[in-house]
Every structure is written in structure tokens, then in C-alpha cells.
């Protein structure tokens, strides 16, 4: 709920108004999905919930990943601050058509669905790159991991793009490329780490060729 409150502040404070129904819909969905996700993990996988609640700097984590995580968080924060400024003040680019904005809401929800499915399939989906020997870390190749190697990141991509469309910031789509580019860099770092430290990951990478988009990349 603290996260919901913070997201509400970074959206409505720069907008200078509470009369923004699209942001209210977005915030309500964000709250509902977060509550559902945390409740589901609490009931089915407390170990993963505990891992995701830890601080973003941990033993065994590559130093470069600590920097990458900070850059991602900063880039996403700037995106959240930019969207209301663009919608209510800058008007840098024409707003997307109504049908396209509605499609954005669908992408946003589908992105959350991918993330939830990633959590269900992978009990080791920690927020940091590490080899979790304490919990018998092993390769996961079931569920959505049968189709792409990084479905959680794929969901995050859809989240950010869908958010920009639904909140009607075309310029925000361009700014969203920054955190997405950082995620692409992190995928390379994570895969090199897993090939070196996690038994069977190289074979998994050979079986599942796509990183984010099946048959594309």
C-alpha cells in the first residue's frame, strides 16, 4: 500500500490535479494486482516473497548489477514523473488514439499476467542476480519459461509501454526506451552469470532460444 501511495504521488503531484480519471483507473488496477500478487505469494511461496522483500544489494550479487538496478529504478521514476508533466503541461507529441490507449491498458494487464506467471513457475525469481544455493537454486524451464528465458522482463516491457499508452503520453513511449534498454543490458549480464554459476543453464539457453519475444529475440 505504501507503493500504491508513492505511485499516486508521483502521478498526481506533477499533474497538479486529481481530475485525471485514467490515472485513477491505472492506480486502482496497480493496487489490485499488487494485493493479489503478494497474497498469492504469501499463500503459495513465502520463500520467493521473502526474497523479493530483501534490499537490492546482497552478498554474491555482481557489483555491476547493483549499479544496473539503481539505474533502472531511477529511469522508471523519471518516466512516472514525466508522463503527467507531458499530459498536462508539455504536450510534446499528439496523444494516441482512443483505441490505441485502450490497447495500452490491455498490454499493461497482460504484462502483469506474465509477471505473475513468472512468479508461479520460478521460485527463484529474486530481484537481484545471484546463485541461491541456500534454496537449491536450479534451472526452471516450465510454464512461461518454456517460451522465453526472461518472461518477467517481457512483462515489465509490456507494463511500461502499456502505461504510457493508457495515460496518453506518446512522448513517454520514447522515454520508456531508456529503462527498457537498461533491462536489455541486464539480460546480457544475468545470462553470463547464470551460464557460469548455474548448472544446466547453458543447455536451457540452447533449448529456449528467445530472450523476450518468442521467435524474435
CATH class of 2-207: mainly alpha
Q: What pLDDT sits at residue 137?
A: 82
**Is pLDDT at 169 greater than 70 in this prediction?**
yes
Q: Which residue intervals of 86-169 are DSSP H helices?
A: 98-121, 151-166
Q: For the chain, what percent of residues have pLDDT higher than 90?
A: 77
Going by C-alpha positions, the residue among 160, 150, 213 that lies closest to residue 186 is 150
- Cα radius of gyration rounded to whole Å, the chain: 18
Q: For the chain, what percent of residues have pLDDT higher than 70?
A: 97
Say which residues have a Cβ less than 8 Å from residue 180's Cβ, sequence separation at least 6: 157, 160
The answer to whether residues 79 and 160 touch, using CB atoms and an 8 Å cutoff, is yes
- How many angstroms separate the CA atoms of 137 and 102, rounded? 40
Going by C-alpha positions, the residue among 184, 189, 175, 190 that lies closest to residue 212 is 184
Q: Degrees (nearest 5) of the Cα angle 105, 180, 53? A: 80
Q: Where exactly are the structural domains of the chain?
A: 2-207
The pTM of the whole model exceeds 0.85: yes
Amino acid at each position: 500500500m505504501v507503493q500504491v501511495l508513492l505511485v499516486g504521488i508521483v502521478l498526481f503531484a506533477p499533474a497538479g490535479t486529481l481530475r485525471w480519471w485514467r490515472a485513477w483507473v491505472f492506480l486502482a488496477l496497480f493496487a489490485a494486482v499488487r494485493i493479489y500478487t503478494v497474497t498469492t505469494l504469501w499463500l503459495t511461496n513465502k520463500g520467493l516473497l521473502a526474497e523479493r522483500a530483501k534490499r537490492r544489494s546482497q552478498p554474491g550479487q555482481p557489483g555491476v548489477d547493483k549499479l544496473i538496478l539503481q539505474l533502472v529504478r531511477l529511469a522508471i521514476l523519471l518516466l512516472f514523473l514525466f508522463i503527467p508533466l507531458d499530459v498536462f503541461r508539455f504536450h510534446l507529441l499528439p496523444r494516441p488514439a482512443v483505441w490505441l490507449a485502450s490497447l495500452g491498458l490491455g498490454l499493461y494487464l497482460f504484462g502483469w499476467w506474465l509477471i505473475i506467471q513468472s512468479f508461479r513457475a520460478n521460485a527463484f525469481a529474486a530481484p537481484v542476480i545471484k546463485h541461491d544455493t541456500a534454496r537449491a537454486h536450479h534451472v526452471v524451464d516450465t510454464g512461461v519459461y518454456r517460451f522465453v528465458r526472461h518472461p518477467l522482463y517481457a512483462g515489465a516491457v509490456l507494463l511500461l509501454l502499456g502505461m504510457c499508452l493508457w495515460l496518453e503520453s506518446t512522448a513517454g513511449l520514447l522515454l520508456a526506451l531508456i529503462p527498457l534498454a537498461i533491462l536489455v543490458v541486464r539480460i546480457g549480464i544475468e545470462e553470463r552469470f547464470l551460464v557460469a554459476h548455474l548448472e544446466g543453464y547453458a543447455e536451457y539457453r540452447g533449448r529456449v532460444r528467445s530472450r523476450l519475444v518468442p521467435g524474435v529475440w
